[in-house]
Structure 1
Amino acid sequence: MLLAGATLIHWIAHTETAKSHHRHPVMSHFYGAPAMALLTVGAGAMLVGRDMLGLQLALRIDLVLWAAGTALGLFTAVAIPYLQFTAHEVGADAAFGGWLMPVVSASTGALLLPCLPQGQTRLCMLLARYAMFGLSLLASMMSISQILSRLIEHKVGAAAAVPTLWIVLGPLGQSITAANLLGSNAHLAVSGFLAQALEAFGIL
């Protein structure tokens, strides 16, 4: 809440600067962070908040935040690369960890599977999460390879950018989490060999 308030104050006090962030080749990538924040708070409502709020209210909060976070995440995963391809000035040594922000999405959809109606709704949720998992994995592999190439050819670079290298751990951790959570809940939407195969995939 404090960070949301600080962001709002920043937008009010420095409106023109805030509006120009999407045109900045570095700042624009951090538009992926609000999507992750919504997904994380929604997951927290289900995992922790339901003891205080009750399951139904926690589920409604998580559904709303998951839908908003997923929509915003998909939008930034398309819009930011588009701006990078068409408007941003990107040098050969420009790749950095922030490029991964728009493609990292919290693995929270699996938490909703047990609470959704049986049948087509659960199956659609499961397949959609696996599709997003695959898309983010491909995008992450491409971005990480460019970051590695930059490190080899142009070294570490500015000291202020070094902490962004840790963002690379995000797609790795989120991918492992997604594969395991989806695999362990796959039996709720599919059965037989497919459910076992998805669970084994998560373990691998």
Structure 2
Amino acid sequence: MKRIAALLLFIVFFWAPAQAQLGLKGGLNAAVLQGTVGTDATYQTSYHAGLFYEMKVIGNIISIQPELLYSLQGTERKSDFENYRSKLHYLNVPLLAKVTIGPVYVEGGPQAGFLLKAREDGVMVVSQEGEGGATYATNDRSSWNDYKKLDVGVCVGAGVKLPLGFALGGRFNAGLNDINNVKSVRGVNDPELKNRVFQAYLSFQLPSIN
């Protein structure tokens, strides 16, 4: 895993072919963990930010774009018995193929996500005391050991390039592997947790390197 990350970082920052553009990007996430037990899991709003490096392959039409992004993901649960968020902090490294026609582009490719931090916070009911009575407890803890440290997924997206190097885009990231690291003794009905993230972003590209 460390060798793969090092190789991708080398590509992003040190390989500079003709017509390459370094850029910055950031925006909003709508994230959920698909497979969360119960029906009360909802998308939580968070953010992502980082760098990308667009390398032209065929003219201005086809390019390869590695990225290095910090992304806050996870899920949110709301019901009569609990209201808390699982916050998963990732370093995501997508490697995308990009096709641009005029100002419009589409993109897609694999992504490796490396878990940096995991926490849960919120409140939940711990006991019921007669009609209308309930005792609540605050839950704020590290959940680092509850999740696997590598998330492998795919990304698809589209956007439009604007004047002065800016662009607006959207993307969907789907994790392919189960990141649940908590298993019961019997292993029966253990949930498979997979990241699902919708992103909207604004980017800015520096002038081309020739």
| Greater share of residues in helix | 1
TM-score bracket, normalised by the shorter chain, equals under 0.3
Question: Which protein is richer in strand relative to its size?
Answer: 2
